[in-house]
Structure 1
Amino acid sequence: MTETMTEKKPESGRRKFNRKSGRVLATSRVLIAVAFLLALALDPTQPARNPHLCYGFLIGYLAWSLLLMAIAWCSWWHDFRLAGIVHVTDIASFLAAVYFTETSNGEFISPFTAFAVFLLINATIRWGWNGIVGTALILLLSNGLAAAFLVAYGYDVDPYRFARRQTYMVLLSIMLTWLGSDRRGRPPLALPEPPGIPGERRVQVMSGALAYARHSIGAGGAAIALAQDEEPWVDVMRDDDGAVIHTRIGPGPLADSLASRDCAATLFDRRRGRAIVARTDSRHETRKGLVEIGLAAHCNVDTGLLVPICSAAGKGVLLLWDIADVCVDDLGEATGLAREIGLALDREEMAALAQSAAVAGVRNALARDLHDSVAQFLAGTQFRLEALRRWLREGRDPDPEIIAMKDALRHEQGQLRAMIERLRLGESGDRGTDLVAELAALTDELGHHWRIITKLDATPGQLVAPIALTYELRQVVREAVANAVRHGGCSQVSVAVTRDERDALRLSISDDGRGFSDECAKMRPRSISERVEALGGRLQICHGHPGARLEIQIPVRLTT
């Protein structure tokens, strides 16, 4: 078990109405009931029918609205369960209000309210809360100016009807302004970028995501549990009011719950056996009874939000608890947070894979270079030492061969330093070099080193190739000549460089050795094959008697 602690950060303020649609609707219902009751009390012509029954109904509706507001502020469970019943009750109350107040010249037959609602909803859809505020101000101002104009010219204006219209307009504008600002005014979720090298920041990504999720939702604590597909361990990181603990847990109930859990966000109360589960069709369903949540039991949490995290590395969940005034609206934002956390973990996993692939590529390239240069040079040096030994036995003068070997070692040392410098600084792909001159110098060097006859057949003049390509072809020729001498016992190697009809490079390497045996006829030289494939070319091996021939085609245009 490993633990990591981070510095505690101050918690941001919790907004009472953020993502609390149930509370806003319940409070608005009370305000509308109060405004409607006062409007009827101040209007001497209302109620039009059954005054005692009407006032009794309105007082009862106000009491019912106050009860619903208390429920919305105290219990997310009952607020969600009663939503359908409350909606039906509101519709019935509207119909009853129409019955008690409807007259031939009454307010409810006016198109003003319906048209104002249409304008405000249209502003909500198009421009969000800014459009709602602007539209509401225009409607209120224009209604007031129209009333002042009528009064100035002696027209009769009913002050009670005017006040009701303005009051309803203000209340409706407030509700729609909140709706537009909460649904469209939120900035997009964006997890903070952790410090460090991409691919090596998995712990930092998880701790940063926990802090961001806790402050976004207004939770006192948060935890992430991740189970990798190929490992029996479960990584659990917990942020309890700013103190972060990282734990690795072995197989057990938590791992079993992650393996079997449905992919659905859940608002739960384990003590009361209640849960609201978000379904894939944007609806919610309630569940009663025993609520089994492995991470909640591990963190000793009774009430909170649990949201699955989908990641390529494995299954995971995000747990949030101690949320002030938790409600069903929090499921949507928590789901968005879990989605962003999963994407951040996937990006980190991709960076780690890319880093591993880059390291593997460098290792393979370095191994090829060492094999085709240093290893083959040492093998050739061993051949020359054996020849020098024979010279000494025969009584011949060893000084010329020793001097030649010292020159060869000095030249190889320069090649090795050049390779080290290229690894440190990289190679410019825009630089060009004369391929024919490079191969001519190389074949002459290889002939002296391996004590064989080498021949270069090339088009007269220069063939300018990128320096990186020239280096790879030099290594191919070095490896081919070494193989022909060591394994084929050849005495002569011919190298031909030409351009085909599409100006692509063709390199042919042939020898007069033993060629390939029947058992090795299907084998391909690994280093040469890897280099040719990396250049996007094709390698063809012709088994001749005597010797063998390598035909290489590289799809690159050369210049003269």
Structure 2
Amino acid sequence: MFMRRTAKVLATTRAVLAVVFLLAVLIEPTQPARAGAVGLAILAGYMTLAAALVIVAWRSWWYDFRLAVAVHVIDIIAFVGGVYFTEAGNSDFSSPFMAFAAFLLVSSNLRWGWRGIAVTALALLVANTAAGGALMMLHFNLDIYRFGRRQVYMLLLSIVMVWLSGDGRLSRRVELQDPGGVPGERRLRVLAEAIAEIRNALGAKGVAIALLRNEEPLVEIVLDDGTSTHVMAAPGDLSDDLALGIAPVMFDTVRRRRIASLPVAGMAAWTGRISVPLADHCGISEGIIASFATAAGPGQLLAWGMRDLSVDDLPLVEAFAREVGLALDREEMASLSREAAVSGIRNALARDLHDSVAQFLAGTLFRIEALRRWIREGNDPEGEIDSIKQALRREQVQLRGLIDRLRRGEDGDRRTDLAEELEALLVELSHHWHIDTRLDAAMRPLPVSIELAYELRQLVREGVANAVRHGHCASVTVSIIGEAGALRMQIRDDGLGFATGPDPLRPRSISERVEALGGRLEIADATKGVTLDISLPARMAA
């Protein structure tokens, strides 16, 4: 808890230093080295002031912050006075020099960072040099060697502390724990777990997170003050405040006080009317609020009811707000990834069903109509009926294979002979559509993965079906050409070709499937027939 109570720790340390210094001077017979009565009175007054500042630090975060600069100046004056009243010719450890110098540097670092250290170090060096020069001009006994040595010590200590503070090594970092579950499906769980973790870290009575999603007018509020609440608030002052985005602010709306952490200026305090719509919604008047941004829209994190509220809580709440934004972005990305994957699967399934089941049913209707004419002409239908039954059985096998692919995925390491697969398919399509088919494959065997063989079979099925149904072709030729590790397939028919027009149509299913494979589709529409020229990259052909 002391990591978040800088003001109280500094005030207590100042008081202890003042008490120890006064007691040391009273006990040491050679001290004060000069102006004894005045020195003791000043040290006693400083101790009284230090005790009063302890009370201020423990009771009011506002006055502690507003008095910080003035108190720091008083500490520097006390440092110079302590050196003057206690510096003697052969005294080293009875002087408060190093203790006060270290306290002032640490105090300035904790309150204002490296800039505070630099200003304080410069003030100490100048003040100590002036005090030493004054002692020498007044012909007091002063050890120049010890004086110079302590100046060098203080300078080195200041440089190290400026480097540490400027390097960010003393900055505070937070990290929210992973709430578990499936990424992309746990948004409310992420918010609830984050709120619980923030409440525990801050010792807060309540924490609220408000979110304004870009595509929705309502404000989503998740609140936990002992009872978890999830509500949607109507647009208004709260949505306007969320859209603005504010610097981290510690506020007291009743006393009209606020301290903000600004990006460049650092901590700054104001008085006057304060509007904190999220605090009004939660029914509280004092707390800390910080804005954060997400890909879906802006948000705010509000915490209240912390014991011994301090400006130390401002950067901590800001860090938590930033982590909440990042956690929500991770959930959004996971959700988008899942949606993209589902969309890809849906489109692939639609292509598969179109290229196989839908086209087979269309071909079956085509054969049934032909069978009807055959029967009307007085011919025996048994042979054609048996042929249709065999085709239905084969399609049933294909459909079961498709279902199996969806259930357990395809084994990419298994390979098959593409020429053999396409040859068997063309025989089947020849019987089904009553056309002549031929495979032209210069390379045999032509081993490819099971996955690629399936995709090419679907392309051929769709290409042949289109050629028969729309081009009214009598024959189709499929050519397989291997080119330096790549694969090229041509589907040629002798049909009527595509309908003429300013924007010639492209076969949608074939185009989508070739694009999904990373290949290229070119269409040559001749006087008689169409040629589909499909080129696949080497990585697919391997």
Shorter-chain TM-score: what band? Answer: 0.7 to 0.9
Q: Retained in 2: the 8 A contact 1:234–1:255? A: yes
User: Which residue in 1 is equivalent to 2:202?
Assistant: 217
Provide the rounded CA distance (Å) in 2 between the counterparts of 1:520 and 1:406: 43
Provide the rounded CA distance (Å) in 2 between the counterparts of 1:74 and 1:188: 27
Q: Deviations over 1:284-303 (max 9, x none)?
A: 11111011011001111111
* Letter paired with 1:229: N
Could you tell me the TM-score, scaled by structure 2's length? 0.85
User: Which residue in 2 is equivalent to 1:252?
Assistant: 236
Provide the rounded CA distance (Å) in 1 between the counterparts of 2:177 and 2:94: 55
1:443 aligns with 2:456: no
* Letter paired with 1:53: V
Shift of 1:427: 0.5
| From 383, 386, 406, the counterpart of 1:400 | 383
| From 52, 59, 82, the counterpart of 1:67 | 52
Shift of 1:386: 0.9
The percentage of aligned residue pairs carrying the same residue is 52
Q: Retained in 1: the 8 A contact 2:443–2:482? A: no
Shift of 1:69: 1.0
Aligned counterparts, 1:287-302, within 5 A = 287-302=270-285
User: Which residue in 1 is equivalent to 2:414?
Assistant: 431
Q: Retained in 1: the 8 A contact 2:172–2:316? A: no
Name the SS of the counterpart of 1:490 in structure 2: coil
Name the SS of the counterpart of 1:219 in structure 2: coil
Cα pair distance change 1:520/1:528, threshold 3 Å: farther
* Letter paired with 1:27: T
1:552 aligns with 2:534: yes
Q: Which moved more, 1:296-305 or 1:513-522?
A: 513-522
1:421 aligns with 2:387: no
Shift of 1:252: 2.2
1:512 aligns with 2:522: no
User: Which residue in 2 is equivalent to 1:39?
Assistant: 24
Provide the rounded CA distance (Å) in 1 between the counterparts of 2:38 and 2:95: 25
Provide the rounded CA distance (Å) in 1 between the counterparts of 2:29 and 2:503: 111
Shift of 1:192: 2.7
Q: Retained in 1: the 8 A contact 2:417–2:446? A: yes
Cα pair distance change 1:544/1:467, threshold 3 Å: same
Shift of 1:282: 6.4
Aligned counterparts, 1:137-216, within 5 A = 189-216=174-201
Cα pair distance change 1:248/1:199, threshold 3 Å: same
1:86 aligns with 2:74: no
User: Which residue in 1 is equivalent to 2:13?
Assistant: 28
| From 327, 331, 334, the counterpart of 1:344 | 327
Q: Retained in 2: the 8 A contact 1:505–1:557? A: no
| From 189, 212, 233, the counterpart of 2:218 | 233
Provide the rounded CA distance (Å) in 1 between the counterparts of 2:319 and 2:489: 57
User: Which residue in 1 is equivalent to 2:508?
Assistant: 526
Cα pair distance change 1:546/1:356, threshold 3 Å: same
Q: Deviations over 1:39-68 (max 9, x none)?
A: 111111111211111111011001111111
* Letter paired with 1:497: I
Q: Deviations over 1:396-450 (max 9, x none)?
A: 1111000000000000011001100110011011110000000000111111100
* Letter paired with 2:5: K
Provide the rounded CA distance (Å) in 1 between the counterparts of 2:75 and 2:173: 35
Shift of 1:313: 1.1
Q: Deviations over 1:246-270 (max 9, x none)?
A: 111122222122123x331000000
Provide the rounded CA distance (Å) in 2 between the counterparts of 1:478 and 1:194: 48
Give the gaps of 5 or more residues in structure 2.
110-156
Q: Deviations over 1:192-222 (max 9, x none)?
A: 3224322121111111111011101110111
Name the SS of the counterpart of 2:232 in structure 1: strand
Shift of 1:538: 0.6
Q: Retained in 2: the 8 A contact 1:503–1:558? A: no
Name the SS of the counterpart of 1:323 in structure 2: coil
* Letter paired with 1:386: E
Name the SS of the counterpart of 1:18 in structure 2: helix
Cα pair distance change 1:111/1:95, threshold 3 Å: closer
Q: Deviations over 1:302-330 (max 9, x none)?
A: 11010112211111101100100011110
User: Which residue in 1 is equivalent to 2:305?
Assistant: 322
Provide the rounded CA distance (Å) in 2 between the counterparts of 1:513 and 1:101: 111
Q: Tell me: higher relative CO, structure 1 or 2? Use CA pairs within 8 A at least 6 residues apart.
A: 1
Shift of 1:36: 0.7
Provide the rounded CA distance (Å) in 1 between the counterparts of 2:173 and 2:248: 20
Q: Retained in 2: the 8 A contact 1:463–1:559? A: no
Provide the rounded CA distance (Å) in 2 between the counterparts of 1:521 and 1:256: 48
Q: Deviations over 1:353-404 (max 9, x none)?
A: 1111111111101100010000000110111011101111111111100000
Cα pair distance change 1:39/1:77, threshold 3 Å: same
Cα pair distance change 1:439/1:65, threshold 3 Å: same
CA-based RMSD: 2.7
Provide the rounded CA distance (Å) in 2 between the counterparts of 1:334 and 1:254: 19
Q: Retained in 2: the 8 A contact 1:464–1:559? A: no
Q: Which moved more, 1:194-203 or 1:334-343?
A: 194-203
1:356 aligns with 2:339: yes
Provide the rounded CA distance (Å) in 1 between the counterparts of 2:256 and 2:171: 33
* Letter paired with 1:201: R
Name the SS of the counterpart of 1:104 in structure 2: coil
Provide the rounded CA distance (Å) in 2 between the counterparts of 1:320 and 1:559: 59
Provide the rounded CA distance (Å) in 1 between the counterparts of 2:289 and 2:540: 62
Could you tell me the TM-score, scaled by structure 1's length? 0.83
* Letter paired with 2:243: A
Name the SS of the counterpart of 1:494 in structure 2: strand
Q: Retained in 2: the 8 A contact 1:102–1:108? A: no
Q: Retained in 2: the 8 A contact 1:318–1:338? A: yes
Q: Which moved more, 1:291-300 or 1:517-526?
A: 517-526
Provide the rounded CA distance (Å) in 1 between the counterparts of 2:172 and 2:4: 14
Give the gaps of 5 or more residues in structure 1.
1-14, 125-171
Q: Retained in 1: the 8 A contact 2:468–2:474? A: yes
Name the SS of the counterpart of 2:205 in structure 1: strand
1:536 aligns with 2:518: yes
Q: Retained in 2: the 8 A contact 1:98–1:108? A: no
Shift of 1:78: 0.7
Provide the rounded CA distance (Å) in 2 between the counterparts of 1:99 and 1:110: 9
Provide the rounded CA distance (Å) in 1 between the counterparts of 2:4 and 2:290: 17
Cα pair distance change 1:222/1:330, threshold 3 Å: same
Provide the rounded CA distance (Å) in 1 between the counterparts of 2:14 and 2:93: 19
1:97 aligns with 2:82: yes
User: Which residue in 1 is equivalent to 2:369?
Assistant: 386
Provide the rounded CA distance (Å) in 2 between the counterparts of 1:28 and 1:110: 18
Shift of 1:97: 1.3
